[in-house]
Structure 1
Amino acid sequence: MNNLPLTVRRSIELLGLVLLTAIFYVGRSILMPIIMAFFISLVLLPVFRFLSKRKVPEAIAIVIPILLVFILLAGIIWFFSAQVGSLVADFPKIKSNVSIHLNTLSNWVSGVTHYSTKEQLDFINKNTNELLSFAGKRVSTFALTLSSVFVFVGLLPIYIYLILFYKNLLLRFIFMWFSEEHHPKVKDAIYESETIIKSYLIGLLIQITYMTILVGGTLLIIGIKHALLIGVIFAILNLIPYVGALIGNVIGVILTMTSSTELWPIFTVLGVIAGVQFLDNNILMPRIVGSKVKINALFAILGVIVGGSIAGVPGMFLSMPIIAVLKVIFDRTDMFRQWGILLGDERPEHNPMTSPDSRKKEAVISKSGTIRNSK
């Protein structure tokens, strides 16, 4: 392929990118559980190796870590369900608080516009049928999505077991794709991808724990209603880079508004979330994950949006580790190195328009911002 004209190579690269995206979109219901199982398998690999060294039978050494994962998942679901149950128990009070907020909003609208309370009610009643129709469609879509979630979760343990069982076969397949002279690079890329994915996923699990404790615990001490539920929701949504934190703030405000008629709890929730998020972004998460591969914010956001468009919520969660693995692969191939540079967050110190050195593929940007040759 290196003998082809540059324009032809670039066209093939772009065509391959479009084809890869189309494959993910068409086969998302099949590929997403496999990719998720692959990433979870990498996290469970140290436990499997530990048990194997202790002469535990291979089948049992695979089943034990899978059971541990599902016990942990069941604990999280139980905790979340208990918090939602507490919210449902307060429904009469929530309904009263919502009515107060709606009356306040109606009076404010009447004061700043020419619409009276009666005109506002007429407008709401006029659009009620459309709203109910839309809600009915959403409920049917949610039921379909819920059934797909059960299928997704049901396939995960099977895929995890088979990936761990056939890991040597899969590794042999990967090595056979490349000539022997490139095997050291392939081995290095596999080890680095494993390290990155393990540190990222374990870091996310730790992040969910301390975000729930910090946000929920602080709000509970202050006296905010449904503090732990707000903490759990924000911690889980915060796993989606950039977008999740915004949605978590909105849901936190809504839950606070439904449980109180005052405004100070809303500002308290926003302040606590902002403080914990600052602590997480600048101190805790960088130390916990410590990933060697850093993705720039532009392509992190694009990855979340594209992943969500292709495969919904699973695609949003998996976008970052997929991009990280792609960057590891791109950085180790001469043909695709420019794509690795595009995904990274290490900006050239000099403008490529005026500095010829920063235009080269071989140029590697160090953490200090200086440029050195990789060859």
Structure 2
Amino acid sequence: MLHDPPQRAPKDKRNDAARLQTGALVIIAFAVALFLLVQARFMLISLATAIILFSLTSDVINFIGRQRIGPFRIPNALASIAAMVLIALALITLTSILLAQVNTVLVTTLSYTERAPSAVASLFSWLGADSQMAIFNALQSVDVSSYLRSAASQATGMTQATVLVILFVGFLFAERIWFQTKLHNFVGDPVQAERVGKIIQSIIHRVNYYLLVKTVISAITGAMIYVLAKAFGLELATSIGIITFVLNFIPNIGSIVATALIALVAHVQLGDPTVTLAIFAIAGVIQFVNGSIIDPMLMGRALRLSSFGIILSLAFWGAVWGIPGMFLSVPIMVMLLVVCSHVPGLRPFAILLSREGLPESERMLEQPIERDLFGQDITND
């Protein structure tokens, strides 16, 4: 027949079948990986945190190792032990502070339980009396004590996670001296092993710089919010400042939650809408200036991530690992950006993840890192 469709060659049919099979295998592999990420979340979160902290120690060890006591330089082994002790003390101290503040917040929340529903419902008075009463009844029906018990149990798990992270970091220290040998033997090609090592160094340098800038900005923001809460006489001024510091490590959403938190606490405690609005406005300005102006200015070209990509990473890791995943979303995205930049088949993903569509090039990889995390010159070491 003249109008019969052309018959497809057997080779084309085999190619279609192969592509269909490959697609199915990719979907199955992704589902299995996602299942493992969810089921082993506690261990994987602790391991990811330990790796990030261990990457910080490379600059810390080098910094300590460059210090001199008279004519003598501190040995590398002693610098490694000192860095490990500092990390352990910092983790234990931070965990203790957070647990103490969580306990303070929980106790204070219990004292606010009776007046909180009416205070929050009054914020919606502009919707009418019926809507305000409906919101009040809905808030009264919430079992606050069960949520507080859940929060307390999750806070207790922080101690277990801290111990596990310290153990992971300790074992990573033990493997540190053999890393280059293992890398060369694993890759097989000395040139390719050197290239992989440079990619790892690029990841470490970018993540360390991000964490340094984020820590400084978050500390300044937390201190300013503390001063603001103290100026208005809020009971939870210290807790709000510390929680703001922690929440600012969550991109975009963290600052919004911190601003809403101080406004909510102010309204529940003071009950004055005008004062609440003033506190909300001042806190919003602080967050905007520090997070949207100073933060990008200090980050510069060291962290050129797509804003939309950050939101997607935040949503994905938040869904998989919860709140800890939100904290780890940006470091993981930095790692993916650097890796995809230097794998030809994955470079299109790096273009999508980068802000201007200009991911790291091979020429940038060849440029030596001249300064460490502390701004000290390392080219002469």
CA displacement at 1:46 relative to structure 2: 2.1
Aligned partner of 2:49 among 26, 33, 36:
36
**1:21 to 2:34 alignment:** yes
Q: RMSD across aligned C-alpha pairs, in angstroms? A: 4.1
Separation in 2 of the partners of 1:185 and 1:233?
A: 41
Q: Tell me the residue number matched to 1:169.
A: 178
Alignment of 1:326-341 (within 5 A): 326-341=336-351
Q: Who is 1:273 aligned against?
A: 283
Q: Which residue of 2 aligns with 1:156?
A: 165
Judged with a 3 Å threshold, the aligned counterparts in structure 2 of structure 1 residues 241 and 254 are, in CA distance, closer, same or farther, namely same
- Which 5+ residue runs of structure 2 have no aligned equivalent? 1-14, 67-72, 363-381
The answer for the alignment partner of 1:352 in structure 2 is none
In structure 1, list runs of 5 or more residues that go unmatched.
349-360, 365-375
TM-score when scaled to structure 2? 0.73
Aligned to 2:86: 68
> Does the 8 Å contact 1:224/1:265 carry over to 2?
no
Q: Distance in 1 between matches of 2:341 and 2:124?
A: 57
Query: How do residues 1-375 of structure 1 correspond to structure 2 at under 5 angstroms?
Result: 7=19, 11=23, 17-52=30-65, 54-56=73-75, 58=77, 60-73=78-91, 75-76=93-94, 94=112, 98=116, 101=119, 112-113=129-130, 128=141, 131-132=142-143, 136=146, 138=147, 141-142=150-151, 144-175=153-184, 176-177=186-187, 179-221=189-231, 223-224=233-234, 226-290=236-300, 292-347=302-357
Matched position secondary structure for 1:335:
helix
In 2, distance between residues paired with 1:106 and 1:334?
Answer: 54
1:140-178 Cα distance to aligned partner (Å, 9 max, x none): 654653453222111111211221221243344344236
Structure 2 distance, partners of 1:61, 1:225, is 42
Distance across 2 between alignment mates of 1:107 and 1:280: 33
Return the letter of the residue paired with 2:40.
G
**Matches of 2:27 and 2:188 in 1, distance apart?**
22
Aligned positions, number:
340
Asked if the contact 2:112/2:268 (under 8 Å) is kept, the reply is yes
Q: CA deviation at 1:333?
A: 0.9
CA contact (8 A) 2:122 2:132 kept: no
The 3-state SS of whatever aligns with 2:322 is helix
Q: Deviation at 1:291?
A: 5.2
The aligned amino acid for 2:169 is I
The CA deviation string for residues 33-67 of structure 1, in whole angstroms up to 9 with x for no partner, is 11111111111222223445634472x43332233
Paired residues of 1:97 and 1:257 also in contact (CA < 8 A): no
Residues 162 and 183 of structure 1, relative CA distance in 2, 3 Å threshold: same
Label 1:120 to 1:169 Cα distance change in 2 as closer, same or farther (>3 A).
closer
Cα offset for 1:264? 2.1
* Mapped contact 1:293–1:328 kept (Cα < 8 A): no
What SS is found at the alignment partner of 1:239?
Answer: coil
